[in-house]
Amino acid sequence: MNEEQILSNLRRIIIEAKAETAVILPEQVQMSTELLAPPLAMDSIDFVATIIGIERVFGVIAEDEDFLTGSMRTVGDVVGVVKRILGVSP
Amino acid sequence: MRLLFFPWTHGVGFGYVGRELAIAAQLCKVGHECIFASDTREHIVERCGFRVIPSHGVHGVAVPDMGGRRGEYITLDNLDTVYGIARYYHAERVREHVRADLEVIDAVRPDAVFVDMQPTAAIAARFRRIPVLSVADSDFLRDEDNAWMPWMSREEACILPYPSCLGAFGEVLRELSLPPIAHVSDLLWGALTLLASTPDLERGQPPIRERGPLEYIGPIYWDPPWVDVSSQLRSHGRAGALRIFVTLGHGGKVGNAIYDAVLGGCDRREWAVFVSLGFRPPEDSIVYPSNCMAGGFTGLSAPLDWADVVISHGGYSTVLAALMQGKPSIVIPFMSEQEANGILFTEQNEAGFVLRRMFRSTEPGRRFQYRLRYSGTSTDGSFGATEVSHAVEEISTDPRFTAGAQAASKRLREFAADRSVPALIERALRRRNSP
């Protein structure tokens, strides 16, 4: 799975995770999109939903240390973590 | 007897470790050997003189760093969700932890395994046919979907989207040819389950579905034997000052803004404040008003003995300790279970009140909001020093709260007077071993 495919899957995961509180369009989820700032403005519950989505879609078991909120600023950072878990070369 | 203790290591509180330390200390006094499977970051267990055999890293350290979760309100609706945080909805994860716990059990060869909410150690012990002893808050043993958020309906309380762990536990139990479970809390029932509460404190809640021998043992909490703040506290505060004990957990969860609001709200010449900071990192800068003395991890007994009023986060051990010592409490919860403790134990006994209540929001884009006791609705749960000042004024001038706390204390002390935890454990294990 390449970076583009990971981003595409992650886009769907984040849109689904945010669905309860916001309507996010696919074009609003880009590598440079900030996680905590609008339009995503993700809270801890959005992060949990996203991590569970990542586990489900990519078939991995996430470790809390992988997804420490303080260490991830953008969607691209999350893509980087997924690549590392999947063993995709940078 | 040799007992192997497994505290819960995925939580945010010290209570799980502290309670097992308190029980282990009592058992050691009567000649039993107690060994632990994990320790805190600060090596509290080892410092108490107990041997620690780390469970091959799978449980990490007890009382983890909160990292990015600091300051946020955590919504846990029931035990299944708590196990979700440990990713026990993956059978592979359960299997890995059971395997590691088995290795520790095989290395120690205990006569019994003692768990405080730790499910994989309970499974491993059952597989080796070693008796499981369990100590629990009452909500660990409840079946209701909203057991940790009883002020909400089950639909409202379901906020964190973790999958249920029941299937994964069931899969591993089947592989080990162990009996199935109907609810994840079934794992916490053993040869003896000790409930750190009393029937009186549990009144008004649904009955607990009993699945084995259950004994109420009353509040149980631990004080570090190497810390004694009594003498410092004796000389703290002018004569006649209202003495306020502030304890907001072990320190990893609460942000500086909260400490500033709480200590700022208590900043009056006629009040004296002692704040216990737990394991809070020393680099954290908190502004201490001149009437405030700060301590690190001090335990509860000495500050409670000194105080007239308590401001706490609502941790189970802290809330029950305040009741045991007859001190009225202002509860500022940072997670749902703490809010439930404040409602069910502090408010129900008229021994104080919850300062900030969480509720499901009907506003678009919001999952929940907060209701502050004096200043109304807050979207983010933040509050200022004035909110705290009002609370201290109310609790210290309305005699109902002190009377409620003292009445609860009398009942709890009477209940605890004839309870010996080591004797209960010895009896349960004898009963189990008898033909």
Structure tokens at A82: 């997924």
| Helices B119-127 and B91-108, packing angle to 10 deg | 60
Nearest one of B306, B312, B321 to B258, comparing CA atoms: B312
For the entire predicted model, the pTM comes to 0.93
Tell me which of B434 and B128 has the higher pLDDT. B128
Q: Which residues of chain B have a CB within 8 Å of the CB of A45?
A: 75, 159-161, 367
- pLDDT, position B250: 78
Q: Report phi then psi at B323, rounded to 5.
A: -65, -45
Structure tokens at B353: 């009140």
Is-contact B63 B13, C-beta < 8 A?
Answer: yes
Mean pLDDT taken over chain B: 92
Report cis status (omega within 30 of 0) of the bond before A39.
yes
Chain A contact for B159 (CB, 8 A cutoff): yes
Closest CA to B366 of A48, A17, A43: A43
When scoring A61, A65, A67 by the number of chain B Cβ atoms within 10 A, the one with the most, hence best to mutate, is A61
Residue B107 burial (C-beta neighbours within 10 Å; 0-12, 13-18, 19+) = exposed
**B94 vs B178: CA distance, rounded Å:** 14
Question: Euclidean distance between the first and final Cα of chain A, in Å?
Answer: 12
- Considering CB atoms only, which of A22, A49, A52 is closest to B365? A22
How long is chain A?
90
Q: How far is A60 from chain B (nearest CA, A)?
A: 10
B55 near A CB under 8 A: no
Segment B337-341 mean pLDDT: 95
Residues from chain B that touch A22, judged by Cβ atoms under 8 A, are 365
Q: In this predicted model, what pLDDT tens digit does every residue of B67-113 receive, in sequence order?
A: 555 567 889 999 999 999 889 999 999 999 999 999 999 999 999 99
Q: Are strands B368-372 and B356-360 parallel, antiparallel or unpaired?
A: antiparallel
Model confidence over B248-297: pLDDT tens digits? 987 667 888 899 999 999 999 999 999 998 887 665 678 899 999 999 88
Phi-psi region of B32 (alpha: psi -120 to 50; beta: other; left: phi over 0): beta
Q: How many CB atoms lie within 10 A of CB B48?
A: 19
HSE-up of residue B399 (Cα within 13 Å, Cβ side): 0
User: Beta partners for B243?
Assistant: B272
User: Which residues of chain B neighbour A35 with C-beta distances below 8 Å?
Assistant: none
What is the edge-to-edge ordering of all strands in the sheet holding B271-276?
Answer: B292-295, B271-276, B242-247, B309-312, B329-331, B352-354
What is the pLDDT at residue B243?
A: 98
Nearest-CA distance from A14 to chain B in Å? 13
Give the whole-angstrom CA distance, residue B197 versus residue B22.
15
Q: CB of A19 within 8 Å of any CB in chain B? A: no
Chain A CB within 8 Å of residue B75 CB: yes
**Taking the CB of residue B303, how many other CB atoms lie within 10 A of it?**
26
Which of 41-60 (A) contact B at CB < 8 A? 43-45, 48-49, 52, 55
Q: Which pLDDT score is estimated for B66?
A: 45
Residue A61 is nearest to which of B68, B90, B159, comparing CB atoms? B90
DSSP code, position B206: P
Distances (CA, A) of B246 to A58, B153, B277, B298: 45, 32, 9, 11
- B chain contacts of residue A20, beta-carbon cutoff 8 Å: 367
Residue B24 to residue B46: CA distance in whole angstroms: 12
pLDDT at A43: 86
For chain A, which domains are there?
3-86 (1.10.1200.10)
C-alpha–C-alpha distance, residues A90 and A67, integer Å: 18
Pairwise CA distance, residues B352 & B87, whole Å: 36
Q: Residue A73 burial by CB count (10 A; 0-12/13-18/19+): exposed, middle or buried?
A: middle
**Residue to test with chain A: of B73, B158, B160, most A Cβ within 10 A:** B160
Is the pLDDT score of B332 beyond 50? Answer: yes
Strands B356-360 and B352-354: unpaired
Contact indicator for B253, B334 with CB cutoff of 8 Å? yes
> What pLDDT score does A68 carry?
67
Q: Is residue B61 within 8 angstroms of chain A, CB to CB?
A: no
Structural domains of chain B sorted by starting position, each given as residue range(s) with its CATH number in brackets: 2-218+419-433 (3.40.50.2000), 230-413 (3.40.50.2000)
Reported as a single tens digit per residue, the pLDDT across A6-61 is 999 999 999 999 998 899 999 999 999 999 899 999 988 898 899 999 999 999 98
Mean pLDDT of B142-149: 93
Residue corresponding to tokens 């632990």: B36
Helix (H, G, I), strand (E, B) or coil at B233: helix
Q: Do B163 and A52 touch (CB under 8 A)?
A: yes
Q: Quote the percentage of chain B above a pLDDT of 90.
A: 79
> Does position B435 have pLDDT exceeding 70, yes or no?
no
B299 to B84, B217, B230, B403: CA distances (angstroms): 30, 20, 11, 24
CA dihedral B391, B149, B121, B166 (to 10 degrees): -170
**pLDDT 10s digits, B216-250:** 999 999 999 999 999 999 999 999 999 999 999 87
pLDDT surpasses 70 at B56? no
CB B148 within 8 A of CB B69: no
Determine the pLDDT at residue B387. Answer: 98
**Is B68's CB within 8 Å of A68's CB?**
yes
B325, B9, B5: which is closest to B135 by C-alpha?
B5
Among all residues of chain A, which has the CA nearest to that of B81? A48
Question: Where residue B380 falls among pLDDT bands split at 50, 70, 90?
Answer: confident
Give the pLDDT band (50/70/90) at residue A80: very high
Please check whether residue B163 touches A, CB under 8 A: yes
A38 lies within 8 A of chain B by CB: no
Is the CB of A52 less than 8 angstroms away from the CB of B159? no
ipTM for the assembly = 0.90
> What is the residue-wise DSSP string for B246-272?
EE-SSSSS--HHHHHHHHHHT--TTEE
Phi-psi region of A17 (alpha: psi -120 to 50; beta: other; left: phi over 0): alpha
Judging contacts by C-beta atoms under 8 Å, the chain A residues touching residue B96 are: none
C-beta of residue B330 within 8 angstroms of C-beta of residue B395: yes
- Site of tokens 């009040």: B271
> What integer pLDDT is reported at residue B186 of this predicted model?
97
Cα separation of A51 and A55, whole Å? 6
Alpha-carbon distance B87 to A48, whole Å? 11
pLDDT the model gives residue B62? 55
Residue B164 confidence (pLDDT) above 90: yes
Q: Residues of B12-33 as b/e, b for ≥16 C-beta within 10 angstroms? A: bbbbbbbbbbbbbbbbbeeebb
Under an 8 A CB cutoff, do A68 and B67 touch?
yes
The tokens of B84 are what? 């979700």
By the 8 A CB rule, do B219 and B416 touch?
Answer: yes
CA of A75, closest CA in chain B: separation in Å?
Answer: 17
Chain B closest-CA separation from residue A67 CA (Å) = 10
**What is the average pLDDT across B160-180?**
97
